[in-house]
Structure 1
Amino acid sequence: MPLPLPGEDNQAQFMFTVARLTPGSSQPRRLENDEQEMFKCMQLYKLGVPLYTREAILNAYGQLKASKRGDITKITAIDGTSVDFIINTGRVWIGADGYERELGKPRLCFMPIQRLESCVVPDQLHTIPCSIRVAHRVATRDPITKERFEYGVTAFEKVRLNLFTTLHFWRNSPYYQLLRYLLDDYPKMPRITKIIGFDCGSMSRDLQGQPSNNSRARYQHAFLIALKEYLDARNFETTGQEVRVYVQHETYLERDIEVIRQFGVQVLQDPEGFLVVDEETVVVSCRPECPVRQVVADLAMPAMMIWDHERDPTKVNGMSAQRIFDPWSTRLDTMMRFYHVQEFVNDEINFDKMDVCIRRPMADVYHDVNDPDPGSDANFAQPVA
């Protein structure tokens, strides 16, 4: 039996749970004035109200871990509204293709500000002023045998060898040498104790002849491992502290986790990666499937970020607003005032155009604030020759 694709571009399909704004109500309720509610969200956002907080993420995550079908997960929206999300784990229905669809375990989904200020992506929930929502992964299964359709898994030794080989190529690539040169050029590097990579992808998923992102996933994991080696060597000369490496990706297979651990990388469950981000962290993300940049901007001021260069708030990675995953925002513009930003020309086959953002010493920031030259733009470093 042919395997139904999980979605366009082989992306996993998710379904948001039913949400209700009236606690205790048995039915969801739409907001009466969409434009008024969206305007309210934008005003709160401009006033500095965070879309995401550690407390909100921890609270929602704790509820989900203990939830079962029929339970309610309560999340507070940006305007203080209490929103009930009804857990539907195990719900089954027949799809238009005759296969059954089953809802898996719930997970948290993070909405960028663009989803709260616009109806570009119309759906039942677009008026809910909630930046953290609950969704279920949708699995496809045979209506008779009830067997789930799953892609194949590449053998452990092959995945391990592929990553080892990719790491060797990356260490010797001109892009890695350029990155080292770029980082060497910053003598005032902030203290760094950990690296967290978001949505680096599965290296072991066998798509049975269909195009896959396994190569991108291998190179992005190799990037993290090589970056740790560089920072360990740099720390050895100062603090002597070893840098820890974490990754967070909701669709890792067990085979991925087995291989990743062999290289000293710790896998965190979604959304635990966001909770470990602090002022001593390097954040790495390349075309993630969630608004990593906006979440990080609300949670911390990391030591360094290496992430997408795209800064058009209506686009991400060249795609229009209908496919926004990690869009830019005005809050990120403000955040960048505290960073040296250097464009990093990377391997565009396995990565995309990226920026290296290194947090500036507060003395430098203070100097720029008091700089009589209003045209200075000291936080944007000159390109490396």
Structure 2
Amino acid sequence: MAKQYYNGGSVTECLQRTETISKSYAAGTPLYFKAQLLQLDDFLKTGSESVTIVGLDGEEFEITRDSRNDVWQCRDGFVRRISVENFYSPRSALGISYTSNGSGFDYPLAGIQAEYATYQSNWLKSTPYQALQKILNSSLAKLDITNIIAFGLGSLRVGEHASRSHTQHAAVLTMASTIEKLMGRKVDCYVQDPSYNTVDAEFLNSKGITILEDPHGFLNTNSNTLVFSVCPNVPVKQIIADMTWPAAMIWDTVDTTEEQREWRTEVFDDGEAYRVSPYGTDPDSSRVREMVQHYDHLTFVDKDEQFTCLTVYTRKLPMLSETGIEMSVKL
């Protein structure tokens, strides 16, 4: 008897499903589209018990709301401390996790304001700031940009590990002010990240930045948008490539060719070795590589590592369609 997986499919059925999805993707069928994101968003926000959507294999299936709210706790009276042991391997390991629901960071508004002022000042005096302005002034004048939508910049923090998020938000305002001078009109700024809290919202609103709930950052992206993301934990590039091609993107550099990826071993100073996956959460794809062929690009060098390796992509003119799939077919 064939082994059954969690989805009830045999090995043969899973392989057939994978082949169907691969063929569908190669034919240009989008994995992400606005109508379905809207449908799922409505399902999550309303009291509907179920929703029917089309799966990656083209088949309809029903998702039922799980009303349970179980919280699992370790209640062994002899347990005084549970240490964390990590197992690093190229194969997945089955593990038991002891977790709790975290409430996140709760920094005061005054602390966020002071921290931002420091990092914004550093940013405005930095070489990457000057480089970004030069790139924007030389590449965006030909475009019609009305809004900026940034993904995954993170909640604003105080203290350790605060620099990247503050600097990246400061960069959004730099982009807006530069584009406003070029276009001669106001540019709206939006951000989407599930980690934002009420203090973030209050502070960002004071800076003219509006938080959009998931998935409305993607839904509001259009042909006049500049998309900005830095190492997000969702496949921003693939979602954008499937839905609407924006006027410009500033995001992690897209590899022009598909390279063979392999796990590698890293060794700590104490001699402990661990395995590192070659796969990220915002990967390139054949469709993303096809998309960026229709954009001019300039590399944004950041030696301070607040942005890692970014490239500024600006749409080549004329553009036949704002929809990625349609345009790639026509061209």
TM-score range, shorter chain: 0.7 to 0.9
Partners of 1:169 and 1:187 in 2: CA distance? 25
Partners of 1:187 and 1:348 in 2: CA distance? 24
Question: One-letter code of the match for 2:176?
Answer: K
What is the CA deviation profile of residues 347-374 of structure 1, one whole-angstrom value per residue up to 9, with x for unaligned ones?
A: 443221111000011289xxxxxxxxxx
Name which of 17, 21, 29 aligns with 2:8: 29
Q: 1:59 to 1:253 in 2, by over 3 A?
A: same
Q: CA deviation at 1:67?
A: 3.5
> Given the alignment of the two structures, is residue 82 of structure 1 paired with residue 60 of structure 2, yes or no?
yes
Q: 1:304 to 1:43 in 2, by over 3 A?
A: same
Q: CA deviation at 1:171?
A: 2.1
Q: CA deviation at 1:310?
A: 4.9
Does the CA contact (< 8 Å) of 2:52 and 2:60 recur in 1?
yes
Residue 225 of structure 1 corresponds to 173
Partners of 2:140 and 2:202 in 1: CA distance? 36
Partners of 1:267 and 1:296 in 2: CA distance? 18
**Aligned-partner SS, 1:176:** helix
Question: One-letter code of the match for 1:249?
Answer: D
Does the CA contact (< 8 Å) of 1:60 and 1:74 recur in 2?
no
Q: CA deviation at 1:139?
A: 11
Q: CA deviation at 1:46?
A: 0.6
Q: 1:334 to 1:282 in 2, by over 3 A?
A: same
**Aligned-partner SS, 2:186:** coil
TM-score, with structure 2 as normaliser: 0.77
**Aligned-partner SS, 1:224:** helix
Name which of 30, 34, 39 aligns with 1:54: 34
Name which of 205, 210, 213 aligns with 1:269: 213
Question: One-letter code of the match for 1:75?
Answer: I
> Given the alignment of the two structures, is residue 66 of structure 1 paired with residue 40 of structure 2, yes or no?
no
Q: Deviation above 6 Å: which 4+ runs of structure 1?
A: 120-123, 313-316
**Aligned-partner SS, 1:49:** coil
Partners of 1:229 and 1:289 in 2: CA distance? 27
Q: 1:61 to 1:149 in 2, by over 3 A?
A: closer
Q: 1:290 to 1:48 in 2, by over 3 A?
A: same
Gaps of 5+ in 2: 1-5, 77-89, 265-275, 321-331
Partners of 1:151 and 1:230 in 2: CA distance? 34
Question: One-letter code of the match for 2:111?
Answer: K
Residue 230 of structure 2 corresponds to 286
Q: 1:139 to 1:303 in 2, by over 3 A?
A: farther
What is the CA deviation profile of residues 228-269 of structure 1, one whole-angstrom value per residue up to 9, with x for unaligned ones?
A: 111111112xxxx20000000011111111111110000000
Q: 1:194 to 1:88 in 2, by over 3 A?
A: same
Does the CA contact (< 8 Å) of 1:204 and 1:255 recur in 2?
no
Q: 1:122 to 1:267 in 2, by over 3 A?
A: same
Q: 1:336 to 1:97 in 2, by over 3 A?
A: farther
Greater strand percent: which structure?
1
Residue 252 of structure 1 corresponds to 196
Q: CA deviation at 1:185?
A: 2.2
**Aligned-partner SS, 1:33:** helix
Residue 25 of structure 2 corresponds to 45
**Aligned-partner SS, 1:88:** coil
Residue 196 of structure 1 corresponds to 149
Q: CA deviation at 1:87?
A: 2.4
Does the CA contact (< 8 Å) of 1:198 and 1:247 recur in 2?
yes
Residue 69 of structure 2 corresponds to 91
Question: One-letter code of the match for 2:210?
Answer: Q
What is the CA deviation profile of residues 38-76 of structure 1, one whole-angstrom value per residue up to 9, with x for unaligned ones?
A: 1111111010000111111111111111037xx223221
Partners of 2:310 and 2:47 in 1: CA distance? 38
Q: 1:139 to 1:348 in 2, by over 3 A?
A: farther
- Give the share of equivalent positions with the same residue, in percent: 26
Name which of 239, 243, 262 aligns with 2:187: 243
**Aligned-partner SS, 2:293:** helix
Q: CA deviation at 1:305?
A: 0.2
Q: 1:205 to 1:161 in 2, by over 3 A?
A: closer
After TM superposition, the structure 1 = structure 2 runs for residues 54-203 of structure 1, keeping only pairs within 5 Å, are 54-67=34-47, 71-95=49-73, 141=100, 149-186=102-139, 188-203=141-156
Partners of 2:8 and 2:105 in 1: CA distance? 42
Q: CA deviation at 1:88?
A: 2.5
TM-score, with structure 1 as normaliser: 0.67
Residue 351 of structure 1 corresponds to 307
What is the CA deviation profile of residues 88-129 of structure 1, one whole-angstrom value per residue up to 9, with x for unaligned ones?
A: 25521424587xxxxxxxxxxxxxxxxxxxxx9979xxxxxx
**Aligned-partner SS, 2:139:** coil
Question: One-letter code of the match for 1:169?
Answer: N
Question: One-letter code of the match for 1:179?
Answer: L
Gaps of 5+ in 1: 1-26, 99-119, 124-137, 142-147, 207-211, 365-385
Q: CA deviation at 1:336?
A: 1.3
What is the CA deviation profile of residues 129-159 of structure 1, one whole-angstrom value per residue up to 9, with x for unaligned ones?
A: xxxxxxxxx9955xxxxxx543441111110
